């Protein structure tokens, strides 16, 4: 099994207070840079498994700054065509994680049932806002995607040999799927996505991000992931941690096995 970390650009306009809440008022001019990453697993039996797809192309963004950072181009550089992806696991449906679903024509899409149903409900009420992009979600309703909804909450769900879903409840989003990957050489890794933005949130002291939809749920998700990291002796890879990202081997440099 090979695991590739794909880099999907640096957002340089992320308010510092939104990364970790110090209690100060959110100053939109006091910004930090945060990376966005997606993961490709080349599994000996299951085939290609993709975890997230990066930033949407349906909103005008100042990033990714280079075509190299779009997922389809990153995959192309390691010789993988989007049609070859068999499973697409979406951590949640925010615009920096579930953009660009269209090229993955043959994949089964796996998402938290809570997240899926709440987003569908918002769409029907014309209330899509924040990090969800109405144009993306409307397009998904017209596409004939095959969705698999994960109903479990706060459970570790077997996916394929060496890959488990850690299904969380509401917190940062309505529902998040983290990933537990068991690599023979590297060891176990929990890919937390936005359940934990970065090490600054973990503390001590614990500092939640500035914008979360369910604060007690966010704390519960953090505690659950920490418990699973202990139980499985796993490292945690955060959703948007620049310092940690700089220590990782990217898909252009190599892979984990
Ligand atoms: Zn994110």
Rounded to the nearest whole angstrom, what is the distance from the C-alpha of residue 201 to the centroid of ligand 1? 14
Percent over 70 (pLDDT), the chain = 98
Q: Cα(96) to centroid of ligand 1, in Å?
A: 5
Does the pLDDT value for residue 12 go beyond 90?
Answer: no
Q: What local confidence, expressed as pLDDT, does residue 63 receive?
A: 64
pLDDT of 62 above 70: no
- pLDDT score of 26: 83
pLDDT in tens, 82-119: 999 999 999 999 999 999 899 999 999 999 999 999 99
Peptide bond into 205 cis (omega under 30): yes
- Residues 50-74 have a mean pLDDT of 85
Confidence of residue 245 (pLDDT cuts 50, 70, 90): very high
pLDDT for residue 83: 98
pLDDT confidence bin for 50, thresholds 50/70/90: very high
Q: How far is the CA of 238 from the centre of ligand 1 (A)?
A: 10
Tokens 């979600």 found at: 137
Mean pLDDT calculated for residue range 151-178: 98
* pLDDT the model gives residue 58: 86
Strand order in the sheet with 234-238: 155-160, 163-167, 177-183, 187-193, 234-238
Condensed to tens digits (0 to 9), the pLDDT of residues 184-199 reads 999 999 999 999 999 9
Residue 81 CA: distances (Å) to CA of 57, 104, 105: 19, 9, 11
Residue 140 CA to residue 161 CA, distance in Å, equals: 29
Q: Ligand 1 centre from 194 Cα, in Å?
A: 5
Q: Topology of domain 2-245, per CATH?
A: Metallo-beta-lactamase; Chain A (3.60.15)
Least confident of 9-18, 88-97, 118-127: 9-18
């Amino acid at each position: 099994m090979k695991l590739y970390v794909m880099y999907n650009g640096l957002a340089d306009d992320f308010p510092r207070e939104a990364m970790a809440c110090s209690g100060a008022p959110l100053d939109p001019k006091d910004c930090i840079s945060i990376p966005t990453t997606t993961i490709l697993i080349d599994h000996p039996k299951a085939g290609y498994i993709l975890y997230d797809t990066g930033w949407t192309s349906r909103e005008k963004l100042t990033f990714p700054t280079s075509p190299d950072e779009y997922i389809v181009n990153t995959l192309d550089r390691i010789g993988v065509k989007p049609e070859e992806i068999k499973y697409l696991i979406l951590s949640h449906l925010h615009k920096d994680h579930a953009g660009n679903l269209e090229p993955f024509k043959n994949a089964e899409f796996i998402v938290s049932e809570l997240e899926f149903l709440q987003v569908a409900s918002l769409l029907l009420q014309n209330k899509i806002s924040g990090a969800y992009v109405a144009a993306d979600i409307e397009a998904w309703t017209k596409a004939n995607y095959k969705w698999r909804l994960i109903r479990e909450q706060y459970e570790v769900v077997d996916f394929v040999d060496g890959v488990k879903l850690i299904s969380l409840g509401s917190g940062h989003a309505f529902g998040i799927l983290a990933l537990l990957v068991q690599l023979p050489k590297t060891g176990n890794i929990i890919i937390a996505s936005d359940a934990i933005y970065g090490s600054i949130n973990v503390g001590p002291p614990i500092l939640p991000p500035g914008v979360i939809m369910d604060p007690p749920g966010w704390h519960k998700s953090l505690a659950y992931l920490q418990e699973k990291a202990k139980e499985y002796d796993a490292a945690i890879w955060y959703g948007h941690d620049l310092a940690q990202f700089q220590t990782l081997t990217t898909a252009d440099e190599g892979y984990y096995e």
